[in-house]
Amino acid sequence: MYSWNTAAPIASVGAWGEAFTSLHGAGRISVPDPAAPWAGSLDWQRSATYALALCSGGQEVVRRDRRHIRSDPRGTYELLVPLAGTAWVEQGPSSAEIRRGSMVLCDIDRPLAFAHDADFLSIAFIMREQDVAARSLAVTRKPVTLDSSIGLGRVVRQVVATLQEEREQFSATTFDIACDRLLDLVCLAAEGGTDSAPSGQRARVEASIRRYVREHACDADLDGTRIARALGWSTRYIQQVLQASDTTSRDLIRRERLQLARSRLASRSWAATSISQIAHACGFGSHAAFTTAFRQQFGRTPTDVRNDALHPRRTSPSKAEPSTGSGEGDALG
């Protein structure tokens, strides 16, 4: 179920810690004066797969170490998109200063430190590690800093802001479809600076493979051999490129077909077409095989997605009650 929360002031450090860690995972939050009034807010939206959180608060340092990760593993990545102010992110040997015009992509299940001043305002795009890895292993190895003032980075920032602003217009299905495309852009932007590296050619070949599969996903005879022949590479090289991203041509074709089927199930223009017909049109040989694969991929049945899209029932949960807490201590979410 897709849900959202309209921002409201959070007046205590304890309540802030609970709200913050429920979205981002357990960590240690430190503030300059634990006894002082706290002024912060969280405005979030989320489905079972993705989340966006608009965050503002006072000066703080957040540390997520191995103990926190063991107690509260998330299996997620976050793209932090500053709108105002300055923040600092440190993970392993890498560190970055980010402000409006830059973004950083981090693995939440690796120890990290995050600090910002009182005027910091940002949106966090939260995504599953498995979905990031399915698109690009290159961006899973260390924090990636992106320029959000030009090119794909600017497009990413604009899409993130628009999704946050228009949260009430989405169902679970349409939100996930939009976020799938956003994640595609994030990975492309993250790899954009590697074209001069030895892996640059492989990244370009992989992008060509993914584009070809997306354009021809419904073709019944689509397989690794046809992809290789169409792109002018050997089948073995295609296999090596995809293996480096922890996938295969079969898995890639299956995932693109499922995403296309989900988009059609969510479209009113396909409402008169049966689920079996959509499955067949998207390259699946049987309704049963399609339903099984669909549930494994999205955690929902095709019927659930169709009903959600045609008869959305979106709800905004009530605000959590404020609670008290210290200004420096563990927030285990």
Q: Which residues contact 317 (CB under 8 A, 6 or more apart)?
A: 3, 5
- Residue 14's Cβ-side half-sphere holds a number of Cα atoms within 13 Å equal to 7
Do 270 and 306 share a structural domain? yes
Residue 328: name the closest of 25, 30, 14, 15 by CA: 30
Do 209 and 84 share a structural domain? no
Phi/psi-derived region of residue 25, left when phi > 0, alpha when psi is between -120 and 50, beta in every other case = left
SS3 state of residue 159? helix
Q: Would you state the pLDDT for residue 276?
A: 94
Residue 146 is encoded by which pair of tokens?
């992106």
Render 167-196 in DSSP notation, one character per residue.
Answer: GGG--HHHHHHHHHHHHHHHHHHHHGGGTT
Predicted TM-score (pTM) of the model is 0.79
Do 176 and 49 share a structural domain? yes
| Mean pLDDT for back-to-back runs of 10 residues, the chain (333 residues) | 79 86 92 83 90 91 95 95 94 87 93 92 94 74 83 94 92 91 89 50 81 90 92 89 86 93 91 93 91 91 86 52 39 39
Do 142 and 276 share a structural domain? no
Do 188 and 200 share a structural domain? no
Please state, in angstroms and rounded to a whole number, the distance separating the CA atoms of residues 76 and 97.
21
Q: Would you state the pLDDT for residue 317?
A: 52
Do 137 and 64 share a structural domain? yes
Residue 250 counted as domain residue: yes
Q: Would you state the pLDDT for residue 84?
A: 94
Task: Name the domain count of the chain.
Answer: 2
For 300-326, the pLDDT digits (tens) are 899 999 988 777 654 555 444 333 233
Render 44-81 in DSSP notation, one character per residue.
Answer: EEE-SS-EEEEEE-SSEEEEE-HHHHHHS---EEEEEE
Vertex 139, ends 138 and 140: CA angle to 5°? 95
| Domain's final residue, options 163, 193, 223 | 193
For 200-238, the pLDDT digits (tens) are 677 778 888 988 998 999 898 899 999 999 988 889 899
Residue 25 counted as domain residue: yes
31 in Cβ contact with 88 (< 8 Å): no
SS3 state of residue 281? helix
Range of the domain at 108: 3-193
Q: Which residues contact 51 (CB under 8 A, 6 or more apart)?
A: 23, 44, 45, 124, 125, 126
DSSP state of 318: P
Residue 54 counted as domain residue: yes
Do 292 and 185 share a structural domain? no
52 in Cβ contact with 125 (< 8 Å): yes
Do 171 and 240 share a structural domain? no
Classify strands 86-91 and 94-99 as parallel, antiparallel or unpaired.
Answer: antiparallel
Q: Would you state the pLDDT for residue 260?
A: 93
Residue 144 is encoded by which pair of tokens?
């990636």
| Domain's final residue, options 172, 193, 214 | 193
CA 171 to chain centre: 17
Residue 333 counted as domain residue: no
Q: Buried (b) or exposed (e) across 301-326, using 16+ Cβ within 10 A?
A: ebebbbbbbeeeebeeeeeeebeebe
